[in-house]
Structure 1
Amino acid sequence: MNPRIVNLQEKKIVGLKSKMLQHQYGNIVALWKQFMPRKKEILNTSNSELIALQNYSDFGNFEKPFDIWACVEVTDLNVIPEGILFNTIPKGEYAVFPHKGMDASATYQKIMTEWLPNSGYQIGNRPHFQVMGEKYKQGSPDSEEDFYVPVKRR
């Protein structure tokens, strides 16, 4: 596992959010089913990518609920459709891992148990997110996306 380390500039995002506990994967599906029909109402998107974001109040304590977002990046926050929420992904250093297939939890497990302990980094206090671009194919073993993990040097 050799991620790219990037210094991300702040991203403005709009979408829908929900609370979730670890292993409540049905919440993710339900959120995306709500968001996708509304995506066409967002006229100021920066690109065609989708963003799945997780915002942990206490990363590592998976007994606490955390926020999940189904969203897109926008050029500004001046025009937001009614009922759509906004947020920002703060600037900072991220390790970016390519992921192929539909078993995201296995990739995330490898990141946390294999890469992170040997990396010289620790988890930063910013959202984790996945970017689903042109190579993302819902439900396909050939699907590709990028996992963004907030990091800071130890």
Structure 2
Amino acid sequence: MQPKIVALTEKKVVGMQSKMLMHQYENIIKLWKSFMPKKHELKNTINQELIAIQDYPDFGNLETSYNIWACAEVSDFINIPDSMQPFTISEGLYAVFLHKGMDAGKTYQRIMTEWLPNSGYNIDDRPHFQVMGDKYKNGSPDSEEDFYIPVIMTT
């Protein structure tokens, strides 16, 4: 499990958000079912990729709710559909992991328990997100997506 470390520039996204607690996976499904039929309303997307964001106010605290997003990257925040909101993913270092299959929880656990403790990095206080491109196949064991974990070098 070896990620690419990338210096990401700011990303503008537009989509829908919801709050959830850990293990409330039905909220994720509900959010995407709301977003996908309206995605075509976005006229300024820069590609066909979908982005899932988790914005944690207190990362690691399982009792704290956090915001999740179903969105797409856009060139600007002009003409945002009424049912959607803008969000900016801040620039910074990200560890990017290729995830295959549908068990995202298992991959995420391996990142946090196996890779992170020996990596020389700490989790940064920025959103985590996944990019689902042309190799993403919802519900398929052949599906691929990239996990972006915000990191900073340990001191």
Using the size of structure 1 for normalisation, the TM-score is 0.99
d(CA) in 2 for partners of 1:132 and 1:62?
26
Tell me the residue number matched to 1:87: 87
d(CA) in 1 for partners of 2:17 and 2:141?
26
d(CA) in 1 for partners of 2:84 and 2:105?
28
Tell me the residue number matched to 2:130: 130
Does residue 145 of the first structure (1) align with residue 125 of the second (2)?
no
Identity, % of aligned positions: 66
Runs of 4+ in structure 1 over 4 Å off? none
Tell me the residue number matched to 2:6: 6
Runs of 5+ in structure 2 lacking a partner? Answer: none
d(CA) in 2 for partners of 1:131 and 1:62?
24
Runs of 5+ in structure 1 lacking a partner? Answer: none
d(CA) in 2 for partners of 1:109 and 1:76?
34
Tell me the residue number matched to 2:62: 62
d(CA) in 2 for partners of 1:62 and 1:127?
16
Tell me the residue number matched to 1:73: 73
Give 1:19 deviation, angstroms: 0.2
Report the secondary structure of 2:137's partner residue. Answer: coil
Give 1:78 deviation, angstroms: 1.3
d(CA) in 2 for partners of 1:102 and 1:43?
30
Give 1:82 deviation, angstroms: 1.0
d(CA) in 2 for partners of 1:28 and 1:129?
13
d(CA) in 2 for partners of 1:66 and 1:131?
19
Aligned residues: 154
Report the secondary structure of 2:6's partner residue. Answer: strand
Does residue 41 of the first structure (1) align with residue 41 of the second (2)?
yes
Using the size of structure 2 for normalisation, the TM-score is 0.99
Report the secondary structure of 2:19's partner residue. Answer: strand
d(CA) in 1 for partners of 2:80 and 2:27?
24
Give 1:25 deviation, angstroms: 0.3
Give 1:11 deviation, angstroms: 0.2
Residue deviations 1:24-49 (CA, integer Å, cap 9, x gap): 00000000000000000001001000
